[in-house]
Amino acid sequence: MVLPICPICQKQYSLQTLPIVLVPCGHGVCESCQDECNRREILECSLCRELVASWTPNYDLRAMVKQEEVDWKEKLMSSMDFLAGEEIEIDDELKEVAPLLMLKAKNTQSIIRQRRVIAEMARCMDPNDIFEWISVLQFSNEKDLLPVVSKLIDDKIFLESKKALWVLKLVH
């Protein structure tokens, strides 16, 4: 299950990016973005410019977020056979890099799969962090991966300037 993203910050809804519904227009944004609008005294919906009277938690999406949070950690742990029986804590901040960790755990060297995972990471992570994770995980095809990451980051910068970051999902 893929959760929607906040249309303002482009972050996927999560326990850190909580979804809300604006009243009366019904548009959804994350709580952090609406708090920033309130702080700046922006009283209109950022999407339709209707005056926002109040907002309420999007309980349906929040329930999905909680389930998603459990699922990704379970998937990550199940891919780590070598840790069976060990008790480890998986920090929520690893969510974006979890698919890459799973590829490493399964020893997947498919550049196509790696590219797809890295494209998703590029949408929400700092480029330096992506390079660091690839270096830390020591993929045997690292020399082939680095130009792919560089290209994806260039693509991200261009697409962000055009307000079309969603295109990364389309092409990868």
Could you report the per-residue pLDDT of 25-72, keeping only the tens digit for each?
A: 999 999 989 988 988 999 999 999 999 999 999 999 888 887 766 677
Q: What is the residue type of 32?
A: S
Among 32, 23, 18, which residue's Cα sits nearest to residue 60? 18
Number of domains in the chain: 2
Q: What is the pLDDT of residue 90?
A: 85
Do 58 and 104 share a domain, yes or no? no
Place of tokens 């950690």: 73
What pLDDT is recorded for position 1? Answer: 60
**117 plus 53 within the same structural domain:** no
Structural domain boundaries enclosing 20:
1-90
Q: Are residues 41 and 118 in the same domain?
A: no
Q: Indicate the range of 34-43, 82-91, 134-143 predicted with least confidence.
A: 82-91
| Cα–Cα dist 129/36, whole Å | 26
Tell me which of 56, 90, 124 is where a domain ends.
90
Assess contact for 147 and 141: CB atoms under 8 A: no
Indicate if 30 and 55 belong to the same structural domain: yes
Q: Within this chain, do residues 111 and 154 fall inside the same structural domain, yes or no?
A: yes
| 142-172 pLDDT tens trace | 888 889 889 989 998 999 899 888 887 777 6
User: What's the pLDDT at 17?
Assistant: 84
25 and 38 part of one domain:
yes
d(CA 83, CA 71): 18
Asked if residue 71 and residue 111 are part of one domain, the reply reads no
Which of these, 168, 135, 128, 129, lies nearest to 12 by C-alpha position? 168
- Please tell me whether residues 107 and 166 are part of one structural domain: yes
Helices (H) and strands (E) in the chain, counts: 7, 3
- Which neighbouring-strand residues pair with 20? 29, 57
- Domain stops at, among 70, 90, 110: 90
Secondary structure (3-state) at 132: helix
Give the residue from 99, 96, 108 showing the smallest Cα distance to 140.
Answer: 108
**Which of 84 and 88 is assigned the larger pLDDT?**
88
Last residue of a domain, one of 72, 90, 108: 90
Instruction: Count CB neighbours of 119 within 10 A.
Output: 19
